[in-house]
Chains A and B, each alone.
Chain A
Amino acid sequence: MSVLLLLVPLALVLLIAAIWAFAWAVKRGQFEDLDTPALSILVDDDEPPPPPARSDQDDA
Chain B
Amino acid sequence: MNTVAASVAQAPSIEATCFHCSEPLAPHAPRVAIDGVERGFCCDGCAAAAQWIRDARLSDYYKLRSGHAGRVEPAGEALACWDREDILAAHARNVPGGREMVLLTDGMRCAACAWLIDRALMREPGVIEVSANAVTGRIRIAWDPARTPLSRPLRRLMSLGYRPWLATGAERERARITERNRALLRLGIAGLGAVQAMMFTEALYLDTNATMSIPMRDFLRWIAFLISSPVVFYSGWPFIAGCLRELRERRLGADTLVATSTLLAYGASLFETLTGGPHVWYDAAVMFVFLLLTARMLEQRARSAASARVDALARARPAFAVREREDGSREAIPLEALEAGDVACVAAGDAVPADGTLLADEAWFEESLLTGESRPVHKKAGDPVFAGTACREVPARMRVGAIGAATRLSQLAALVERAQAHRPTIARTADRVAMGFVAALLVVAAIVYFTWRAHAPDRALDVTLALLVISCPCALSLAIPAALTAANGSLARMGVLPVGADALERLARVTDVVFDKTGTLGDATPSLVDVATFDDMEREHALRIAAALERDSRHPLAAMFAPFAHEGLRATEVRSVAGQGVRGVVDGREWCLGHARFAAGATDDGALWLGDGAHARARFEVREAPRIDAAQALASLRAQGLSLHLCSGDGEAAVARFASTLDLPDAHARQTPEDKLARVRSLQAEGRVVAMVGDGLNDAPVLAGADVSIAVGDGAALAQRAADLVLATPALHRIPDAIALARRTRRIVRQNLAWAVGWNLLALPIAAMGLVTPWIAALGMALSSLTVTLNALRLARVREGVAA
Chain A residues within 8 Å of B, Cβ to Cβ: 1, 4-5, 8, 11-12, 15, 18-19, 22-23, 26-27, 29, 31-33, 35-36, 38-40, 42-43, 47-50, 52, 54-55, 58-59
Contact = CB atoms under 8 A, between A and B. Distances in A.
Contacts of A1: 213, 216
B233 interface: no
A18 B216 contact: no
B115 A39 contact: yes
26 contacts: A8-B200, A8-B220, A8-B223, A11-B196, A12-B226, A15-B196, A18-B192, A22-B192, A23-B185, A23-B188, A27-B181, A29-B177, A32-B177, A33-B114, A35-B114, A35-B135, A36-B115, A36-B118, A36-B133, A39-B64, A49-B123, A50-B56, A55-B56, A58-B48, A58-B52, A59-B156
Contacts of B64: 39, 42-43
Contacts of A23: 185, 188
Contacts of B56: 49-50, 55
Contacts of B111: 33, 35-36, 38-39
A12 B229 CA distance: 14
A15 B48 CA distance: 54
A59 B132 contact: no
A50 B200 CA distance: 60
Contacts of B132: 36
B631 interface: no
B476 interface: no
A26 B185 contact: yes
A59 B149 CA distance: 13
Contacts, number: 87
Nearest to B60: A43
A50 B227 CA distance: 56
B503 interface: no
A15 B192 CA distance: 7
B155 interface: yes
Interface in B219-242: 219-220, 223, 226-227
Given A15-B193, A33-B114, A50-B57, A59 B184 contact: no
B458 interface: no
Nearest to B134: A36
B188 A19 contact: yes
A35 B135 CA distance: 9
A23 B133 CA distance: 21
A19 B190 CA distance: 10
B55 interface: yes
Contacts of A19: 188-189, 192
Contacts of A32: 133, 135, 177
Interface string B123-166: 10100000011110000000000000000100110010000000
A48 B600 CA distance: 64
A32 B2 CA distance: 42
B252 interface: no
A26 B196 contact: no
Contacts of B192: 15, 18-19, 22
B690 interface: no
B265 interface: no
A47 B53 CA distance: 13
Nearest 3 A/B pairs, CB to CB = A35-B111, A22-B188, A36-B114
A46 to B, nearest CB: 10
B112 interface: yes
A33 B193 contact: no
B556 to A, nearest CB: 31
Interface in B238-268: none
A45 B56 CA distance: 12
A4 B111 CA distance: 48
A22 B185 contact: yes
A23 B56 CA distance: 38
Nearest to B110: A35
A19 B52 CA distance: 45
B223 A12 contact: yes
Given A50-B123, A52-B125, 19 more contacts: A8-B223, A12-B223, A18-B192, A19-B188, A19-B189, A22-B192, A29-B177, A32-B133, A32-B135, A33-B134, A35-B110, A35-B114, A39-B115, A43-B64, A47-B57, A55-B52, A58-B52, A58-B159, A59-B156
Interface in B100-128: 110-112, 114-115, 118, 123, 125
Interface in B473-524: none
Contacts of B189: 19, 22
A58 to B, nearest CB: 7
A54 to B, nearest CB: 7
A52 B148 CA distance: 15
Nearest to A40: B115
Given A50-B57, A59-B152, A15 B227 contact: yes
Contacts of B177: 29, 32
Nearest to A51: B55
A39 B113 CA distance: 11
A26 B184 contact: yes
A18 B185 CA distance: 12
Contacts of B199: 11
A21 to B, nearest CB: 9
A24 B134 CA distance: 23
A56 to B, nearest CB: 9
A31 B184 contact: yes
